[in-house]
Amino acid sequence: MQTITKQTTIRWVKQRLKHGNFKQITLLTFKKDRQIIINDDDGLFSLDEQGYQQVSYTALDQQAVIKLLKKLLVVEFPRSHTIYVQIIEK
């Protein structure tokens, strides 16, 4: 599991979405009690929020994922400076 800073999270996810060589990306807090999961289903993405709220978003494109992720980072990781990242490759 690798760590990235909260400031570079959006840029890092954009690069992974562009290359598309993953099956699942999981973003976790330090305590690992809250997480955001991005799943790739051949060009359509689903995003699961598991933390303050338990919400699942489906049939998203890349722009919608980035836009939603910006909002969810503020809600789910309000005081975090570093984020744990776990990638499952295809």
- What pLDDT was estimated at residue 88? 93
Cα(11)–Cα(16) distance, rounded to whole angstroms?
Answer: 9
Per-residue pLDDT tens for 22-49? 999 999 999 999 999 999 988 899 999 9
Please check the confidence at residue 20 and state whether its pLDDT lies above 90.
no
Per-residue pLDDT tens for 56-90? 999 999 999 999 999 999 999 999 999 999 999 98
What is the pTM for the complete model shown?
0.91
Q: How confident is the model at residue 4 (pLDDT cuts 50, 70, 90)?
A: very high
